[in-house]
Amino acid sequence: MIKFPAAAAVLSGIFLVFLATTVAGALLAALSTRVIRSVCGLALCCLGLAGLYYFLHSPFLALMELLIYVGAVCVTIVFAIMLAEPDESRTAAPRAATAGWSAAALFASGGVFWGLARLAGQVAWAPPPARLNDGSVPAVGRALLTTHSLTFELISVVLLVAILGALVIARPGRSQL
């Protein structure tokens, strides 16, 4: 079935590198105590996710993931960290309460992961009988401007309103100056 087994092995190796990048980035983002390291973990995680998107036959989304998440979201969060010093002080919380919350968080997330992983492993996902198109970038562009044009315009309105709202909230206002 596979004509070039060596090529498949190389591809599997690249895929595993992206997988490890995603997992390591998520762990760094969730576990590190300093917020700036957590942002770096998020950027790493999005880098790996872009690779996974490429393996899922969506090169356009891989590019957008890099552009929006690594380029825009992480940089904006870094700006916010510079403006508001968010580092958690170690001595602020009592020891017992912290351990209790840790255990509760670990229990909840572990339970969710176990359930979802079990569910994903149990079902045999059947491929569709026929595909309507090849899912390439021209097909995505055509769908974006024909079938989903209303959603596309609504997203632009949402982004505009969000930017205006962010400006209104973050600005101190004339009376307080």
Residues 30 to 49 in contact with other proteins, rule: CB under 8 A: 30, 35, 38-39, 41-42, 45-46, 49
Q: Do you know the residue count of the chain? A: 177
In angstroms, the CA 109 to CA 116 distance is: 11
Residue 70 engages other proteins in binding (rule: CB under 8 A): no
Site for other proteins in 135-164 (CB under 8 A): 135, 139-140, 142-144, 148, 151, 155, 158-159, 161-163
Distance CA 14, CA 72 (A): 26
Residues 78-97 binding other proteins (CB under 8 A) are: 79-81, 83-84, 86-89, 92-93
Return the residue of 3, 121, 174, 177 that touches other proteins, per CB under 8 A. 121
Residue type, 138: P
Kindly state the smallest distance separating residue 44's Cβ from other proteins, in Å. 12
- Contact call for residues 35 and 87 (beta carbons, < 8 A): yes
Is the Cβ of residue 96 or residue 120 nearer to other proteins in the bound state?
120
| Cβ atoms of residues 70 and 51 within 8 Å | no
CB of 115 to other proteins, least distance (A): 8
- Helix/strand/coil for 14: helix
